[in-house]
Chain A
Amino acid sequence: MPLSQPAFFDEMHSGGGVRQAYDRYAAWLHSVPQEILQQRHDQANSLFRTVGITFNVYGEEGGVERLIPFDIVPRIISAEEWAIVEAGVIQRVDALNAFLNDVYNDQEILRSGLLPPELVLTNDAFRPEMLGMRVPRGVYAHIAGIDIVRVDAETFYVLEDNARTPSGVSYMLENRQAMMRLFPDLFGAYAIAPVSHYPEMLLDTLRSVAPKGIEDPTVVLLTPGQFNSAYFEHAFLAQEMGIELVEGQDMFVDDGDVFMRTTRGPKRVHVIYRRVDDEFIDPLTFRADSALGVPGLLAAYRMGRVTLCNAVGSGIADDKAIYAYMPELIRFYLGKEPILKNVPTYTLRKPDDLAYALDHLPELVVKEVHGSGGYGMLVGPAASKAEIAAFRAKIIADPEGFIAQPTLALSTCPTFVDQGIAPRHVDLRPFVLSGQKTSVVPGGLTRVAMRKGSLVVNSSQGGGTKDTWVLEKPNARARR
C-alpha cells in the first residue's frame, strides 16, 4: 500500500502505476517535450478557429463567438469499461422512454404509488397537450445525452439525464477530427472505435420515426438561428446529414401538413429534428411572442402529419426531481436492476431531506430542479460562508425548487494546462439514439473543468472538452 492515497481516482495513474488503457499513451506523453505539446495545443486552437467551431455565450453582446477550450490529452476508456457504460445508458434511455410513454398515456406509474403524482402533474416540464397522443414507435427522447461521472475503477454514476435537446455531439466529432490530424501516430498505436458515423445513425433514427405511410420522409433540422449558442452544431449536423437547416419562418402549416418554403415552391416536411425548446415551438399553443416557431405546428404534430424529435414534453424525464426515482423507474418498466448508479439525492420538498440538507450544506451540491448548464448551483465544499448563507435563504424560500446531493469525488484525467500536464476533473456524455432500436456511438463528449480543483465542467462555466477514445477489443479490429 502506498503511504498516501490520492484524493481522487485518476483515469491514467490510479491503482499504482499507469492504468492499462493508457500504457502506450503515457509512455508517449512522458517522452514528448513540453514545446511540442504547446505547439500542438496552438495548432488545435487555430484549427478550431478556422473551421469556426465556436459557441455563443449567453448574456454577452449578440454574436460573440468563443472557442470552447480543447485539451489535447485524450480520455481513454477500455473496451470492458465501455461495455458497462454502453449497457447502462441504453438501459437508462429505454426506461426514460417507457416512462414518457406512460405518463402521457396510461399513467400506470402514477397509480402504482412509486412516484408522487403531483411531482409529474404539477411540473412545469409536463405538457398536458401531449396526453393521449401516440407518437411513432412510442419514442419520445430520440436523442438523449446521459452525463456520467466516475469515482473509482468500478463505479460510474449518472449525474444527469438530458432528454430535451442535448448538445455537444459536434464537439465529439470535431475533437476526433482534430486529434487525428494532430497525432496521426497515436491512432496507429491504438485501435480506437470510430465515431464519425454518428450523423448517419442520427439520420436513420430520424427517418425511422416518420409519420405512418411515409416511405421516403423529408427530414429537416429546426434551429433558433445563427445567434443561438449551439448554431455551429446545428449547421454541422445538417450538413453531415444532408438535410435542410430551417428556421421557424421557413415553414408553415397548411391544412394540417407542414411545408417549407423552397426556391421551387412549398415542400412537405415529415420529420423535424428540432433544437428549439418546447415553449417556443408553436406560438398558437405555447409562448405567443415566439418568433422561432411555426404557428399550428403542434396541431399538425398531434394529427400525426409530422414527427418532432425530441417529442414535446420530453423534459419531464430529465427533471431533477424525477431523477431521484430513476432506479425505481428502471425496475418498474424493465424489471431489471439499474446498471449505472444514481447519486443519492435529497429532494428538498420532503421535510426530512430539507432538514438534513440545511444541516450539511458545506458538504453538499445543491441544484435547481429546473436548472441546467451549471447555472444556479451551489458546490458546498468550494463555496464561501457568505455564499452558503445566501443559498440557504434561497432554499428556505422555495424548497421544492431544489435537490441536494453529496459532493462526488469526480475522477481526474491528465490535462495540458499552463503549468504543464496536471490532473483535472472530467465527466462523460455519451449520446444515445432511440428509433427502431436504442444505440450509442462508442465514445461521447468528455468535459473537463480547466480550473484546478473545480468540479464544474460546463462550458458556460469555463469547462473544456477532450477527445474520448473507446478502445476496441482486439478481435473487433480484425473483423473489420
Chain B
Amino acid sequence: MLGRAADNIFWMARYVERVENIVRLLRATALNALLTSSTDGADDDTVWARPLLLTGRMDDFLARYEQLTSGRVMAYMLLDRDNPASVKSVLANARESARATRHLLTNEIWECLNKTWLAIKDLHYVSLQRSTVEDQLDWLSERCFLFRGALFGSMRRDEGLQFANLGLYLERGDHTARFLASQPDRAAASDDPATKVREYYEGTALLKALGSYRAYRETFSSNLDFTRIAELMILHATVPRSLRGAVDEIVVSLRSLNPAADSLKAAYELQYRLQTIQIGHVRRVGLRAFLFDFSKELDEISAQIQRDFMMVQ
C-alpha cells in the first residue's frame, strides 16, 4: 500500500473517532447543564466553557462572540465551518481523507461517510431547534458506530484496516487522557450531603461522556468515586475507551504491520507501564502530570508511525 494512502486511511478513522468524541462531549455538557441549571434559566458558564477549553477553541470563540450561551456553543461546536474542531469541519476532513483513498475502501465505508456528510453539509443552526439537538447528536453517534461496523465488517484484514485501527485508538487514547486531565481538582471525599449529591451527578456526566457508565457499575459495586473512575479509565483493559484498552489495540495493529517497527517498541513500553502500575502510583505522581506524560508518549508513537511507514516525506 502507498504510504500516502495509509496516511489517508489513518486520518479518516482518526477524524471519525474525533467526531464521536465531540458528540459525546456535547451530550455530556448538555446533561451537566440540566443538572446544574439555576432557576432563572441562565446558562452556567463553567459548564458550557468545557467543550471550548477541551478543544482549545476558547480564544477564537470569545473573539467572535461576546457571550457564552448554550446555543452559541452548540452551533459553534456542531456546525461552524470556521471552527476547525467542529463536527462539520472534522467530518469534512474525514470525508476528504476517504475520497483521496476511496479506491481502497469498500463501498459500505465510503457510502456511510458520504451519506453522513451529505446530511450534515447543508444543516444550519436555524434548522436545529433545541429539542432536536439531542436527536441530531444521537444520529451522529449512530453514524460513527455504523462507520466502525462498516470498517470492521467489510474491510479485508490487511494493512488498510490496521492503519484505520491505529488512527482510531490513537485518537481515542488521546481524547480520554485529555478529558480526564480537564477535570477540576477535587478535595478529599467530603461528608457534606450537598457536595456528595453534586459529585454524584458530575461523576455520572463524566462517565457518560466517556461512554463508560455501565462499565463502572459492572466493575465496582460501590458508589461513584473519582479515584475509581480514574482507575477504570486508565488501567482497565476491558473498557473500550480506557487508556490501557487503546494502547493494547495499538500494539496489536503495529505488531501485525511490522514486528520490528520502532513505533512498536515505544508502544510496548507504554503498554508495560499501564499493565504494571497501580492507581496509587498515579495518585502519587499526580493525575494531571501522569496524563500529560501519557499524551506526550502517544504523540511520539504517532510521529514514529508516520516515519516507520513512509507516511510523511
B111, A226: Cβ atoms closer than 8 Å: no
Pick the most buried of B4, B96, B100, B103: most chain A CB atoms within 10 A of its CB.
B103
CB distance from A259 to the nearest CB of B (A): 11
B2, A261: Cβ atoms closer than 8 Å: yes
Q: Which residues of A contact B125 (CB under 8 A)?
A: none
At the interface, yes or no: B99 with Cβ under 8 Å from chain A? yes
CB distance from B307 to the nearest CB of A (A): 12
Q: A52-B99, A235-B103 are in contact. Are A261 and B4 (CB under 8 A)?
A: yes
B114, A52: Cβ atoms closer than 8 Å: yes
Q: Which residues of B contact A52 (CB under 8 A)?
A: 99, 102, 110, 114
Pick the most buried of B257, B258, B310: most chain A CB atoms within 10 A of its CB.
B310
Q: Mark A48-67, 1 if CB is under 8 A from B, else 0.
A: 01111000000000000000
B96, A226: Cβ atoms closer than 8 Å: yes
State the main secondary structure of chain A at its contact with B: mixed
A50, B115: Cβ atoms closer than 8 Å: yes
Q: In whole angstroms, what is the CA distance A95 to B210 when docked? A: 68
B99, A226: Cβ atoms closer than 8 Å: yes
Q: Which residues of B contact A238 (CB under 8 A)?
A: 103
Return the contact of A246 from the options B2, B110, B311 (Cβ within 8 A).
B2
Return the contact of A236 from the options B103, B115, B118, B309 (Cβ within 8 A).
B103
Q: In whole angstroms, what is the CA distance A148 to B163 when docked? A: 46
Q: Which residues of A contact B101 (CB under 8 A)?
A: 245
Across the two chains, which residue of chain B brings its CB closest to A51? B111
B313, A261: Cβ atoms closer than 8 Å: yes
Across the two chains, which residue of chain A brings its CB closest to B114? A52
Q: In whole angstroms, what is the CA distance A415 to B1 when docked? A: 44
A244, B5: Cβ atoms closer than 8 Å: yes
Q: In whole angstroms, what is the CA distance A230 to B115 when docked? A: 21
CB distance from A401 to the nearest CB of B (A): 38
Total B residues in contact with A, Cβ cutoff 8 Å: 27
Q: A49-B118, A261-B310 are in contact. Are A235 and B6 (CB under 8 A)?
A: no
Q: Mark B1-15, 1 if CB is under 8 A from A, else 0.
A: 111111000000000
Q: In whole angstroms, what is the CA distance A264 to B6 when docked? A: 11
Q: Mark A24-67, 1 if CB is under 8 A from B, else 0.
A: 00000000000000000000000001111000000000000000
At the interface, yes or no: B80 with Cβ under 8 Å from chain A? no
B118, A263: Cβ atoms closer than 8 Å: no
Q: Which residues of B contact A249 (CB under 8 A)?
A: 4, 313
At the interface, yes or no: B231 with Cβ under 8 Å from chain A? no
Q: Mark A173-185, 1 if CB is under 8 A from B, else 0.
A: 0000000000000
B6, A263: Cβ atoms closer than 8 Å: yes
At the interface, yes or no: A265 with Cβ under 8 Å from chain B? yes
Q: Mark A236-250, 1 if CB is under 8 A from B, else 0.
A: 101100001111011
B118, A247: Cβ atoms closer than 8 Å: no
Interface positions, chain B 242-298, Cβ under 8 Å from A, are 257-258
At the interface, yes or no: B104 with Cβ under 8 Å from chain A? yes
Q: Which 8 pairs, one residue from A and one from B, show the smallest C-beta to C-beta distance?
A: A239-B103, A238-B103, A263-B309, A235-B103, A261-B3, A263-B6, A245-B103, A261-B310
Q: Spell out A's residues near B (CB within 8 Å).
A: 49-52, 226, 231, 235-236, 238-239, 244-247, 249-250, 260-265
